[in-house]
Amino acid sequence: MRDTDESRDDADRRTERRHVRYDPDATDRPSELLVRAVADAAGVDPLELDPLFRTVDPDVLDEFVAAGALPDVDGQVSFTYEGYRVTVHPSGLFGLEPAE
Amino acid sequence: MPDDTSDGGDEETPAPFDADSAEGSGRPIGDLFETVSDRRARYVLAHLESLSVDVVDLEDVAEYVAQRERAAERETESNPSDDSVGQGSGDDAGSGVDVERHCHRVAVALHHNHLPKLDAVAVLDYDPRSRTLRYWGDVRVATVLDLLEASENR
């Protein structure tokens, strides 16, 4: 990853398309992972983002991902949050790309 | 008007939620219960109930909640089987860095989930820009907290 080059930070990382995968063994919830991923992409602290609840109920999102462990859960949800098009697969895979 | 009240074993009929139209602020008490079923939300409200000021910073609340969580964790750790220890690990709350990180995690969860949710059920006002919240006291909250605490301590 060229993320190591600190000098080419902001503009670059903001336009990048990225994926993060939720680790079911993590202590964080899927929604917390998402918030951190968006904050990371935008180069800000998670507390500077608009509350995720205003876009989607984090508890519902967490349940959606938790249900991915069931064999017959399919489909995906997507929404726009803080300038990013977010796609959530029930498998715990999050896709982020700049909206518009 | 649906008048099919006493249909016997018909589980499909959604029971009219009378509790929802509880007097007062016009917000469904069921929503309040659901929100408060989360432990963090309960800690937040317990803290606000204990304060005499009505405007509080997010950081302040997060610190309190994180502290309660660590205390609860310590309790469950020391409770099972070994009542002979007595003291020994009096303050193993972890390093300052861990505590700080825990606080921040709690703050993030409160900011993105619990506080806007409590705002939505009209228990408090949360301003995410200034990260301050305003609480004006709520009899329903005090009652619900008492009930939950009583059932927890059984």
Query: Nearest residue of B to residue A58 by CA position?
Result: B113
Q: Do A51 and B131 touch (CB under 8 A)?
A: no
Q: Do A53 and B113 touch (CB under 8 A)?
A: yes
Name the minimum distance, in Å, from the CA of A46 to any CA of chain B: 6
Q: Rounded to the nearest 5 degrees, what angle is found at the Cα of B75, between the Cα atoms of B69 and B81?
A: 150
Find tokens 């800690």 and name the residue.
B43
Name the minimum distance, in Å, from the CA of B4 to any CA of chain A: 33
Query: For residue B48, which of B107, B125, B113, B120 has the smallest C-alpha distance?
Result: B125
Sign of the CA dihedral running B105, B136, A52, A50:
negative
Percent of chain B residues past pLDDT 90, beyond the cut: 38
Label residue B17 by pLDDT band (50, 70, 90). very low
More confident residue, B55 or A15: B55
Partners of A35 on chain B (C-beta within 8 Å) are: 108, 112
Q: Which of A52, A53, A86 to mutate to test the interface with B (most CBs of B within 10 A)?
A: A53
What would the pLDDT profile of A35-62 be if each residue is shown by its tens digit? Answer: 999 999 999 999 999 999 999 999 999 9
Q: Do B113 and A59 touch (CB under 8 A)?
A: yes
